Structure 1
């Protein structure tokens, strides 16, 4: 007994899914609103940090300039002391006297008293502090530490720091020394011991309590500071400052949070640090965050209400839709074999789709490479030739337009069977303008190209009998893969010979290389243009058919240039555009583009025939308008001069400048009377009026009406009115 597999059925049209739909919308709304809130908060905090960093950088730069300026001042003061004659004499000699000692003491004391920040000044000579003057006298331990640190210096721009733990005094030292060698130990000079606390209050003073400043030397020793900091905090600040060059960092010290900005000065190898207490700002930001949460909650509530409304609006049509689906088919239990077959069919379909995608990718790569300029695209691996391999490149086009994909694949399969010893490849876009086939052969076989073309011709002939409209152009054997692009372009160009009936099935490209590479003589085109200018449409079309056969012997580019000139001249019959103008060139290029996009011989002939018809219609219309105008002028002249006996066809035709015979023919077509009949009618009508109103003799009436003789007048009058002129007068007199 076969075991049935139970299938869970889900009724999506059930009313409970309106709540699922609403919950989904609400969840999406919450995610979107939360994401926007988080992004806005992050952006706002980043914006605040950026502005704080810009402001802090300016303030820190000002502090750096102030400190460097003060240190430069001390360096100048030390230089002046060093150059003072009494001090210099003491430094370079061991001799001393009371007066010299008194002068040295006076200078050193003046430097200390005049500044207010110097605790003491020192004269240094060869490893000993020779003389110390100031408000404070250092202990032996401090003097020893000063000597050690001074001897470790390499130049006068260095600053060192000493912390006297006994007196809780911090001092940093500036000096002017003479050295025996570059970066060598100092030999003699002067130095200042500067009170750190006093000068920090002066140099690092800030109007805002949120800001505090510190200055470190390159070893991380604190040189200047506004506040008393613990050693652990100093090390933490120095470490963060070293890592924060050029950026803003957050730093927590105790219960407070700071923004830290640092700037390094290479003049004295000092690192300047600004700390900004942001505890208050965090409180403000917290309050802002709480207010924002209230607005977010309101937005979420509104979004939930809208989501519920939208869900109910969507639910009804969705319910009808799924009910309709469920009425057509229901999911039922099926045996395992059915499920296995479905899986197999699905797998085959997936594999087929993957294969089709892969084939299309290769096609796009190959066709893109062939259409690209040489050297600008990478060659696809499928076009790379193996050793001793050669290839025939076949370029396929349709005689009616785009290439039918089914016809292209059918031809490919048929060629694969007919050319069993060769490897065939096809590259064709779906409903593209062309397709490409490759016939690959090992060079050892050495098959003649004509033999391969003969086999392909037989295959294509069978395909054409089955309704195919493809034709092929074949390249020479390609042995160098770098020739693919040039051969492809050559075949594209040669495919245009189908417009002249040159390509029917399979064409060897070599037959087109013997075409004339010279401009088409204008004398071949002129007879058609002249016939069109004369309005002779039939002759112009007959000459065009002959012209196309003559043009097929020229190179295709020369033909298109000749036909573009030919088309422009035909259009110029009606448009009348001067040759050496931009407009003429635009018309020429328009025809060149249109001609080169034509597909077959019929399209080319129809294109040229339409131009001929338009030109002839314009010529004939113009001629007809001109003839009618001339005939009106002739009638006006006749009506004014019919009383003159010498009026003749020659006289009137000369007035309107046409031949007498052509005038007579056109006059009869328009008036439906010959010239003598029309003139006699005018004269007889005038004579009848004279007979009614004037007391003139018949002879006088004949002369006034324009007749040269009385007998001819009487005969013509009787012919029209059925009576003689005399009788006509008597009858009209009686009736009156």
Structure 2
């Protein structure tokens, strides 16, 4: 049976198989991408609609809560007025006091913008009304009955007549919580005016409703009372806290989101017409569909072209192999050896290139300042529970031997078996950076008294192997990733001491604290510059070692700055 499945790529059938495979993969890819795209699009759209709805509901909640607080503050201010307090707490009245109270409360209603009248009462049988509109008899009966049924001043109640609906908030004086009030002041607010001023009327696809906890409508959203009651009944039968629930009204589907404020005891509800939303999103879906289909059609076309371009070169290549002479001269053994040597060289070159790319990437990160750059995985610490040390090696020559990296790696691997070891070197650089990492719980890198002699012994071994003097600098123990770059920069600064002939084994950043941080006096160079100006070059050169010794007591940053100024002179 195997011979029936044997595929000869120089056969014409290969081209058909290749075309069929590319076409099948392209069709499957189209199906998967389209399914995933529109599934994601629907989920994303629902999430965006829900977030926008909740934002509007929270804004409405904040607006109404702030207005309620402001109106209660106005009542508190009015309650503290001397004339109103005298009227409420005493039985004595005068035309002057009565006239002042009427003018004050009328101005309060007009300036408020929502209030129609204010009611003052000093017993359950004595109520007086002030404002720009006098209430109807049905309103008066509801107010005087409902206020006596309240338990505390955080409540509010709604009064309704055939053509009006008002929200009443109040401030009262009671003998105890939970009993009827003895006296007080009541604000009557026009809910129609509140809806017109607090809710935008230009939103076509959304309806905003506000209910009390017992289902009374505060804001109708321009719907009839029957429809508002129907919506409340539907919401009562569902979980009002669930996002994006759907309700159906007269065969029209709406997305419903709600928010409850336990302080004001109000439910804020938003209905969004699903049909309008779908209509608006149709254009976006169509554009996305066209772009995806066009992209995948181009991919299919390129697949067909690739199948043709791949088939004919392969056919020509194998025809030459079958008809031409041997590619390599000599016998078969010689050809095999040459092929093995070539393969080893290619693999070696690829390994060196990949290793150098890895080093360049790490060193570019450590030497950069871009805070948005992702930290390379080999340098990560916190999420892996590790800490690390940087070791920087260099010699008294201006280059490193080819085997230096592998030799020091072998020594470190033998002496620090519990650590992860990584080596990085820039192309042509005279130094090598070593990263030693270990789990924080191990603690071998944090014990400097044990680590220092071990590093010095390793440096001595390397000096014997390569026959040259070797120096190294070691960073502080690094536990946080934000300290990687500063410690690497300190090591590079320590390397600059080599320019002044001051390198030594085991250099640390503490050397910066031992050197003077003062600016170097320019008079140090006066004698040196004077010899150069007079043409006494040999004497100036002979003076250089003394000059460098004098500079050795200063911080390297100050030395480099001073030498650059000397070069300019």
Which TM-score bucket, shorter chain as reference? 0.3 to 0.5
Query: Greater share of helix residues, 1 or 2?
Result: 1
Larger Rg belongs to: 1
**TM-score, scaled to structure 2:** 0.46
